[in-house]
Structure 1
Amino acid sequence: MHVITATAELAKFCQHAAQFDFVTVDTEFLRETTYWPKLCLVQAATTEQAVLIDPLAKGIDLSPLFELMANAAVTKVFHAARQDVEIFVKLSGDVPVNLFDTQIAASVCGYGDSVSYDNLVRSVVGVQIDKSSRFTDWSARPLSEKQLTYALADVTHLRDIYVTLRAKIDEMDRASWVADENATLSSIDTYIVKPEDAWRRLKMKINRPRDLAALKALAAWREQRAQDNDQPRGRILKDDAIYELAVQRPLQAEKFDKMRVVPRGFGRSAAASEIIKVLKEVEDLPKDSLPTLPARVHGPSPKGPIGDLIRVLLKAVSEREGVAARIIATSDDIDALVLDDNADVSALKGWRRSIFGDRALAIKHGRIGLAATDEGIIEVPISQS
């Protein structure tokens, strides 16, 4: 099976692909021991040609591929695109233009939440994919014929899936739903993690402003170190260690030896010295410079009867629309909107709000109720007199 290893051949394929309405794309990469993904193979296909591109080939320049990714006239079709797109952002500095994610499209067409590629191939194309090569070493050369066959299948079947899903979206009039979902996927902010914002991914309860300041500072320190050294965050410090250090704030090396969340002897490491410096800066912050804790919203209990009613509504809407309930709203979404009419949750945005969010708020405020009928659960207006 032929693999493109030269820039001129890559440019020729990309010129060919630019003549088509869409090109399917996938990547194979490694990142178990690194912060940044290491691109090992690119697969791409038009309706007439499918190719494998070796980014590790000596002297190859991927610029023609990046130009194709930036071509707005060509739809770039991925499945579960986020990690693939992250690679293109890292290498080219830009998000591919005109993206279509078949996992997103499948979710709004009733195929379920986060459907896998092989399950989608089986459902749409009627083919069973051999996934035994999925976790092989894609950086080793030469790649085996089995690996290459597996990799190519990730873009050839994707062509049929794209055509099928595109037709379903048009038939169901859900193009706006897909557009809403693609907004996050197409934003470069999705892929660039600023160290100062790294604390936001830590779902931890903090009760004191100085603890929050420490959490923010430590998360930023870890993120910067991970990026600079190209190491996974967890190789530097686990999330629970970040939390414990933020709360305990050890300022002497020997204090680390009393903490179970760091390895024995950690206090004598260079990392511990950096952490002590960070924590001393936090301790020196005046009170009026400390971050404000998130306001606690008071309202009905999310686990009370209002939340229960909204969960029944979610099930009814899910069945009526043919979309998995979790795609419309999560349990956390429901908890949040019970507490706050303006909660920053997906259930109160875009197409989700139009089919569910507004109805959930109407139930919360007693404007509609639910009734059981032979046809299922229906919404009924409640008189406000």
Structure 2
Amino acid sequence: MPEYSLITAANALAESLPRWQRAEPLAIDTEFIRVDTFYPKLGLLQLGDGLGEILVDPVAIPDISCLAPLLGANGPLKIMHACSEDLEVLTPYSDGPVAGVHDTQIALAMLGEGLQLGYQKALAQILHIDIPKDASRSNWLARPLSEQQLNYAALDVRHLPALYEVLRERLQAKDLWAIYEAECAEVCRLSPPADPQQLWREHGNAWRLSRQQSAVLQALMQWRETQAMQRDVPRGHLLKPLSLFEMAVNPPQHSADFRGISELNPRVARKDGDALIELMHAARADESTWPTPVPAPLPREASKLFDTLKRAMQPLAERLGMPIEVLWRKRLAERVIIQAVDVSIACALDQLSGWRVPYVSPIIADVLSRHQPLLDDWSAQRLASMKSR
């Protein structure tokens, strides 16, 4: 007999809601597919409340919005492992942001057990429990789901409460619990959708383009984002990064010109070619709408400043009892230094948020102020690179 319950009817789902609202905590996981779509497609929702594992079939029950009270801040404490994708999948079924989540992967990182440690490895490492991985790449939208798939899915929440309890005790013993809760709350605050008009600045070669070429790239990437969402297809199925760059540098004037664009989907050229030509022509025509170019990347010697900041953070990481990689993430360091170069040290400190602010702000301000001449030099280089285009 299976050790889980499978819910395939809306009335059974609604009847189970009070039980889950009383759970403390409630283990949650999702199985989803995002291969040829823009949006993830939920294939199975797993819930564990200490009384057993419940598998909810969203293919049989397309409307699971009755679960919204579980997902908000007023719902039970929810435990997940590596929750970022789960949050994205579950947010459409919530009345607002999914809140009240504790992530065991974050706990493991803070305790020095490994960054981005997978669930199976975490169970083996912490609880000495081995679970199979054999169904991890299944098609979770196909029906019927096999017994192997359902057992695999149930295991994803069966041991999560026990793992969480061990990690909670260790975090409290190291006086890291308050920081852990604050970090989980930050992770739950999903970044708002990017402004489609600013997406072009994220292209890896945008800094090589003139203002006019930047306007073309801006228009193309805004078109791609809008169409990918409307058609529910991956961005790359429409225009890949290399195609975007080549079209920005040398915009096709005629349908035949698309044949010279690398990695371009022929179907896009046939279906959307005329619209893209018109779009690119309009972007090039009005100089008043051309955006400011993206500055050149920081010089290679900037890596030395990254290292200097990291070394300055090391004593703090040791005092807090957490790995330096958790305290001072590379992506955050990049944002801080770029703001210090392009604007000011004060603006660089504004990149910080949450629990890190009182800990790392004084260190960053001290290190950057001692390197102000270097920051000024890099700023001049970046401004010159923009004016030259």
Q: What is the TM-score when the length of structure 2 is the normalising length?
A: 0.81
Aligned to 1:358: 362
1:114 positional shift: 1.4
Q: Does 1:224 align with 2:226?
A: yes
Aligned to 2:210: 208
Distance 1:264 1:296 in 2: 33
Aligned to 1:139: 141
Q: Which structure 2 segments of 5+ residues have no match?
A: 372-389
Cα deviation digits, residues 7-60 of structure 1 (max 9, x gap): 222122221011122211111111101111111111001122221111111x56
Distance 2:266 2:75 in 1: 57
Helix, strand or coil at the partner of 2:90: helix
Distance 1:296 1:344, change over 3 A: farther
Distance 1:104 1:331, change over 3 A: closer
Aligned to 1:281: 282
Q: Which residue identity is paired with 1:312?
A: R
Give the alignment's Cα RMSD to 1 decimal.
3.1
1:224 positional shift: 1.2
Cα deviation digits, residues 147-205 of structure 1 (max 9, x gap): 11110111111111222233333333334433443354333544x45544543543434
Distance 1:129 1:293 in 2: 51
2:117 pairs with one of 104, 115, 118: 115
Distance 2:11 2:144 in 1: 21
Q: What is the TM-score when the length of structure 1 is the normalising length?
A: 0.82
Distance 1:299 1:358 in 2: 25
Distance 1:66 1:351, change over 3 A: closer
Aligned to 1:272: 273
Cα deviation digits, residues 272-310 of structure 1 (max 9, x gap): 222212211211222x33222356799994134x44433
Helix, strand or coil at the partner of 2:7: coil
Aligned to 2:291: 291
Distance 2:6 2:298 in 1: 60
Larger mean CA deviation between 208-217 and 356-365 belongs to: 356-365
Distance 1:222 1:366, change over 3 A: closer
Structure-to-structure mapping, 1:1-385, within 5 angstroms: 1=2, 2-57=5-60, 61-70=63-72, 72-92=74-94, 94-187=96-189, 189-190=191-192, 192=193, 195-199=196-200, 201-206=202-207, 207-263=209-265, 267=269, 269-286=270-287, 288-294=288-294, 301-304=301-304, 306-314=305-313, 317-318=316-317, 321-331=320-330, 333-334=332-333, 337=336, 340=340, 341-342=345-346, 348-356=352-360, 358-366=362-370
1:232 positional shift: 0.9
Q: Which structure 1 segments of 5+ residues have no match?
A: 368-385
1:61 positional shift: 3.9
8 Å CA contact retained: 1:302, 1:334 = no
Distance 1:229 1:216 in 2: 20
Helix, strand or coil at the partner of 2:278: helix
Distance 1:214 1:140, change over 3 A: same
Distance 1:297 1:260 in 2: 25
Q: Which residue identity is paired with 1:138?
A: W
Q: Which residue identity is paired with 1:282?
A: A
Helix, strand or coil at the partner of 1:64: helix
